[in-house]
A and B are shown apart, each in its own frame.
Chain A
């Protein structure tokens, strides 16, 4: 597509429910990244993929968080048993790959856990 697309744009859920956030990167982009941005803070790295391989998941806060990119294109970030502290904007970005390439960000998915 023309840009990075994320869905849903807004998600309100109750504590304890699972949520899945989807990212559709720019067509042909090798690398895909997930970031989390709390209110008043800059984005914080969660994980990234080259093609379908998860290269680094050191930013995932705990084992309730997981991500996959099974066919090297669309990615899903899943949060199990959500907690109120998971409320944030979740941002996906993609790039052509290679070191220090430009990241193209989607508009984000805002998650609110009640």
Chain B
């Protein structure tokens, strides 16, 4: 069965410093992995996705994530935080090789705060 663990429920950084949001996954198959962002009172938006091409995935707004199979991790990073990055971030796994294409498994989310 697939599962996702986001190791931090809340991360606080200063503007201009690096961001690291951690995610570990468990999957019986070759997983597809995603990061979604949710700003207050907005719908969830796709930041980036990994589907077995390059292990380093670049997304929108300067975010990137690296798929590390040996560590079963898919951590989200950004070199320099901006105030507008304050939001909740969800790591998501999908079973590509079977099951429902719609059955995305979401982590519990990490709230990112950015201090001026």
Contacts and interface: CB of A to CB of B under 8 A. Distances in A.
A45 B103 contact: yes
A43 B106 contact: yes
B51 A103 contact: no
Interface in A41-73: 41-45, 47-48, 55-56, 58-59
Nearest to B99: A56
Given A45-B103, A56-B102, A99-B101, A40 B108 contact: yes
B61 interface: no
B100 interface: yes
Interface in B1-52: 4, 32, 36, 41-46, 49, 51
Contacts, number: 71
A9 to B, nearest CB: 9
Contacts of B103: 45, 48, 56, 58-59
Nearest to B88: A42
Contacts of B92: 42
Interface string B84-116: 000000101010100011111111110000000
Contacts of A45: 100, 102-105
The B contact surface, by secondary structure, is loop
A102 B61 CA distance: 17
Contacts of A104: 43, 46
Interface string B39-79: 00111111001010000000000000000000000000000
A83 B16 CA distance: 46
A90 interface: no
Contacts of A40: 108-109
Contacts of B45: 105
Contact of B44 (A55, A56, A105): A105
6 contacts: A4-B43, A33-B102, A42-B106, A100-B32, A100-B94, A105-B44
9 nearest CB pairs, A to B: A42-B106, A48-B102, A105-B43, A56-B100, A105-B44, A100-B32, A33-B102, A107-B43, A102-B46
